[in-house]
Amino acid sequence: MVNWADPQHLALQAQALGRMDLVLLGAFTWEYLQTLWFEWSLLARKVSFKWAYIPYFIGRYITLVLLATTVSLDTNTHPLNCAAAYRFVNFAGAVGASCATLNLLIRTLVLWRHNKWVRGVLYVALLGHWTLVFMTLVHQRAVWNPMALSCTAIFADRTQLLAQFLYTFIFDLVILILTLVALTRDRSPSKLWLKLYTQGIGYFFVASCASVAPAVLIIMALSPLMDIIAIGPALTISVIASSRAVLSLLDQAVPESTVYVFSYNPARSFC
């Protein structure tokens, strides 16, 4: 049986984590360039700016900066203030995760805009999610490891970290279910799947499942590095998927009569 806490295995895990961060930065940069047309459309005033785009932009740019910072920390071999560096990394990750969930939540709130009870429950759940995500920052710290010549992240409370990912998964899943319920209230089968495609339900599903891998690894408790190795991919996937869900409202050429709540029409509001 593999001893995941063995120093040799820990070194391999640290090496794998560093390479994964580089891959994530490359993938996210590619995604950023592929979707840069949206920023250009806003600057060229082809799309009207709406407040609902704020979490999209915050999550998008803070995740890009976060991944670049992480790669820089991975490649640095000189002693530095790890506590300050990882304080920013952890804060940026918390903001990115919150924005990813908010990207999905906004349209669900619009779909249920006539039901104050559903909206009220979602607002309370959102506050709970933000509270849990930012409370987790208190239990995260990093120290300089002279043997590895890098910063080593330490999570003092694995239970709270696990609670964060489980809560995020359940909350995103509830958002997905409520979105499906709202979309299926129209009983026309011919329009249903067109709506599901247009509204980007596939992106909802991917973003909702992104928290599963980190939660599983934390439950397995293999090693401190294995506890966090899936957090970066989970954040990157959730931000990309939720951002694509926002863009799916704009780039689908669908007849006006088949659009449920959102459509690409500069004369109309996003929300």
pLDDT digits (tens, 9 = 90+) for 151-193: 776 665 778 888 888 998 899 889 988 988 887 776 555 565 6
Domains of the chain (ranges, CATH numbers): 9-258 (1.20.1070)
Neighbouring C-beta atoms of residue 156, cutoff 10 Å = 10
Q: What's the pLDDT score for residue 147?
A: 67
93's CB contacts (< 8 A; 6+ apart) are 66, 231, 235
Query: pLDDT band at 271, cuts 50/70/90?
Result: very low
Query: pLDDT band at 262, cuts 50/70/90?
Result: very low
Tokens 């082809």 correspond to what residue?
46
Neighbouring C-beta atoms of residue 2, cutoff 10 Å = 8
Q: Distance between CA 81 and CA 165 in Å, rounded?
A: 28
What type of residue sits at position 40?
W
| Range 236-255 average pLDDT | 76
Maximal C-alpha separation, the chain: 64
Does the pTM exceed 0.95? no
Q: Distance between CA 109 and CA 126 in Å, rounded?
A: 11
pLDDT digits (tens, 9 = 90+) for 5-62: 777 777 787 788 888 999 999 999 999 999 999 999 889 888 888 888 999 999 999 9
Q: Distance between CA 150 and CA 170 in Å, rounded?
A: 35
193's CB contacts (< 8 A; 6+ apart) are none
Residue 9 structure tokens: 């295995």
Which comes out higher in pLDDT, residue 31 or 266? 31
Q: Report which DSSP code applies to 261.
A: S
Q: What's the pLDDT score for residue 121?
A: 94
Helices (H) and strands (E) in the chain, counts: 11, 2
pLDDT digits (tens, 9 = 90+) for 141-161: 777 777 666 777 666 577 888
Q: What's the pLDDT score for residue 61?
A: 96
Q: What's the pLDDT score for residue 103?
A: 92
| Range 76-91 average pLDDT | 81
What type of residue sits at position 127?
L
| Range 120-130 average pLDDT | 93
